[in-house]
A and B are shown apart, each in its own frame.
Chain A
Amino acid sequence: METIERKENMTTENSLRIISETMERSRMAIAKNSGKTILMWGVLVAVTSIVVYFLWSKTGNPAWNLLWFAMGAIGGVFTAVNARNREKVPVNEISRVVGKTWMWYGLLTTAFFALIWVAALIRSKWEQPGVINVNLTMIIVMMMGLASVVSGVVMRMKSIVAFSVIATLLSVMFAFLVNGPEQILVFVILGVVGLVIPGLILQNKGKSLKK
């Protein structure tokens, strides 16, 4: 690596070169660090998929899908241990958004299945252990919820993240428990709690900045 020790007469071109090279080198170091985590999760997902396929096809019991929760726990522990052991690499805007997006994907997906599971037990809708009938509305709600959460993360607005999570989980429950035309009312919850309230928060924030 080229060292920066000299105190020569700096030219403007030299200054620009230092700025661009240092920024690029730092960006690459941070990206490389994020790559390790993504690689680890990729291997875990692939291995879990093969294990679940093997056990499910051998036993005929779809409950082996619960191993996905174990995968989440193992991955979480690996990520935490890895973060503690490795040389500290700073967080830039890209690595923050990438990390938070995946973290919220994992949390929302886990909460989604946990909620459906509880709701299914309550409503005795558990036709076959380990089988959950997911409808299109629930998928739309989850995707919309994740988009809202990520928006809050990017804007560094914890209140928006919180309202988005509440809206998503309430909506998922509603979409699971209510069928027929009434199910479409889920978007009232999602619209008001997940979009209108965060929108008002942002507007108020904008007004207070103008003052």
Chain B
Amino acid sequence: MAENVKQFKPLDPLLHSELRLAVMSILVGVEDADFVYIKAQTGSTSGNLSVQIDKLSSAGYIEVEKTFKGKKPCTICRITEKGRDAFAEYVDTLKQYLAL
């Protein structure tokens, strides 16, 4: 009987968070995006977004480039191959859960 029970892969805990998932959903479709754009698209606070970006960056899912736009500091985020693979796997697992 136990053999008939379908085994579900666990969802990546790093992506299974609203804000981090939203950030990855933005970055997966673009070449790169700056902090201001991500903040506007997610409607998050700067503090919370910074924390989540740091977590994604520490996991190697995104690259963060700190630069200047004129005299203003500018943070540019870019998804990595590892991040792209993790996102694809997360979506595949979701499909498995939802039997899509």
Task: List residues of chain A with CB within 8 A of the CB of B37.
Answer: 29, 87-90
Q: Which residue on B lies nearest to A29, using beta carbons? A: B41
- Cross-chain contact B29 with A23 (CB below 8 angstroms): yes
Q: How far is the CB of B72 from chain A (nearest CB, A)?
A: 11
Asked if B33 is at the interface (CB within 8 A of a chain A CB), the reply is: yes
Number of interface residues of B (CB under 8 A): 32
Q: Which residue on B lies nearest to A93, using beta carbons? A: B29
**8 A Cβ contacts from A26-61 to B:** 26-27, 29-30
- Cross-chain contact A12 with B97 (CB below 8 angstroms): yes
Asked if A91 is at the interface (CB within 8 A of a chain B CB), the reply is: yes
Task: List residues of chain A with CB within 8 A of the CB of B90.
Answer: 15
- Cross-chain contact B30 with A92 (CB below 8 angstroms): yes
- Select which of A13, A15, A88 is within 8 A of B21 by beta carbon: A15
Task: List residues of chain B with CB within 8 A of the CB of A127.
Answer: none
The winner among A2, A16, A29 for most chain B CB atoms within 10 A is A16
Asked if B17 is at the interface (CB within 8 A of a chain A CB), the reply is: yes
Asked if A10 is at the interface (CB within 8 A of a chain B CB), the reply is: yes
- Cross-chain contact A7 with B18 (CB below 8 angstroms): yes
- Select which of A5, A26, A91, A93 is within 8 A of B26 by beta carbon: A26
Query: When each residue 72-100 of chain B gets 1 if its CB lies under 8 Å from chain A and 0 otherwise, what string results?
Result: 00100000000000000011001001100
